[in-house]
Amino acid sequence: MKARTRFAPSPTGELHIGGVRTALFSWLLARHTGGEFFIRIEDTDQDRYVPGATRRILEAFDWLGLTLDGGPDHEELRSMKTNEDYPGALDDGEYRGVPGPFVQSHRLHLYKQWAEWLVEHGYAYRANETPEELARMREEAQARKQTFVFREEMRLRTDVRPDEPHVIRMRVLPREGRTEFDDLIRGRLSFDNSQIDDQVLLKADGFPTYHLAVVVDDHLQGVTHVLRGDDWLSSAPKHVLLYRYFGWQEPKWAHLPNVLGTDGKKLSKRHGAQSVFEFRDQGYIPEALINFLALLGWAPGGGDEQNVFTIEELIARFSIEGIGSSPAIFDYNKLDWLNGVHIRRLSDEDLARRLVPFLERAGIPIDTAERFEKLLRITPHIKERIKKLTDAAPFVDFIFGEIETPPPEALIGPKMDRESAIGALQATIKLVRAFEPFEDQPLEQAMRQLCADLGLKPTQLFSLVRNAVSGKSVTPPLFATMAVLGRGTCLVRLERALDRLLRAES
């Protein structure tokens, strides 16, 4: 069947990586089945609302390349608590049959309507206990070493009028027995009704709680599969009961296992980056992050041990049956490895363009066509050496700026003395000044012949030349580096190095 799935974040902060994993699984299921995936912004908790959070969520999906079949449009975003309009937002509110609006604060009339329907049909009731009264009830339960579960018989007042401030709470029916349902990952689940409290569905300010809003919205927007973290497992029986009260068909449930750090504890800030943009800014590319997140709890099955996937391969292979029930381990070493693999899969020009903002952040502006051409020429030679985009700057900084001439000891190759190093530099300068064409492969052949003529090993000559032209002992391949630097720059740096050695000698 075609799946219609959603991701429903709250605009209360950055989009964290655990939520992205949930969204990715939902997106992959929709794409694999030829269905739809949409975003719904759950902004009913207005006290915790963070301006700009919705815009950042949409930007994160754009960066990841997770396309939407529905979501808040420009008008909806502009009319939120703060203006969240975003250039990449969808142009209107309905896509491929998914009905809007896609911002919960724009759907309050629907929650009111269905909460009143529950009251009218005996599945909910009005209550007006104050926060102070409820706090006292909780304290009394704690004193008895009991879990606080609010039930209708605990009401302090039963004559609550519709026109006075109150909340609407669901009745758990039947009071005894169990609520059971099937979970696509965990199998048959069963919950004791006596431990399910009469949940607040509609608050006194007219805003719904998550429990009412998610059920109403998922039904009206045609969601067929609900994928969410197993943190919501304890709430699932309340949602199942609401579906049954309304007489609506339940979606298929799939509660995803937690993501843990390598220490076996739930992933948190102490384990490193948490938001999508932290990973982006640390030099991870979306292709690798998507690949890595897909493997957090999912495997292709059938004995297939493939680890590297394109997004197209993930769409073709994904199934809920491949999701395990055990917690997944977030291993940065594996993410780094995958990032390096996906970097090497990029074309040279694509990689060069992605490197530009990271180089600029490191103080290496690529602000002219000539400088970009140099970057493009050196890119294939650093591609194998970097795991993250932030790794590139030390490999190319000397190409785009001046260097300090190394000290004399760095200009003397292994098992060489100052006199032989001076002779080697003089011979190299002579070769570089006259050699044509000044390209890496011909240059390498000529320099190897020079080694033979001077009676030196390549490691001896090449190490001192590398230090002289780059100021570093580790660089991209020497002759590719020299070709990109150009004859003029190489000569200037070689002559300075020779001068340093000559002056040190005297």
Q: Which helix (H) or strand (E) holds 259?
A: strand 259-260
For residues 8 and 6, what is the distance between their CA atoms, to the nearest angstrom?
Answer: 6
Name the strand (E) or helix (H) holding 253.
strand 252-256
Q: Which residues contact 138 (CB under 8 A, 6 or more apart)?
A: 148
User: Could you give the CA distance from residue 421 to residue 409 in angstroms, rounded to a whole number?
Assistant: 10
Question: Which one is catalytic: 2, 265, 266, 269?
Answer: 269
Helix or strand or coil: residue 130? Answer: coil
Contact between 502 and 418 (Cβ < 8 Å): no
Alpha-carbon gap, residue 113 to 127, rounded angstroms: 17
Query: How many of the other CB atoms lie within 10 Å of CB of 92?
Result: 11
Residue 236's Cβ-side half-sphere holds a number of Cα atoms within 13 Å equal to 28
Active site residue 269: yes
Q: Following CA atoms 380, 386, 387, 390 in sequence, which dihedral angle do they give, to the nearest 10 degrees?
A: -110
**What single-letter DSSP state applies at residue 53?**
H
Q: How many degrees, rounded to 5, is the angle at CA 332 between CA 329 and CA 335?
A: 100
| Cα 249 → chain centroid | 33
Residue 286 to residue 241: CA distance in whole angstroms: 39
Q: Residue 475: CB partners within 8 Å, gap ≥ 6?
A: 395, 398, 466, 481
Can you say how many angstroms the Cα of residue 254 is from the centroid of all Cα atoms in its chain? 21
Sign of CA pseudo-dihedral 319, 322, 327, 333: negative
Catalytic residues: 269
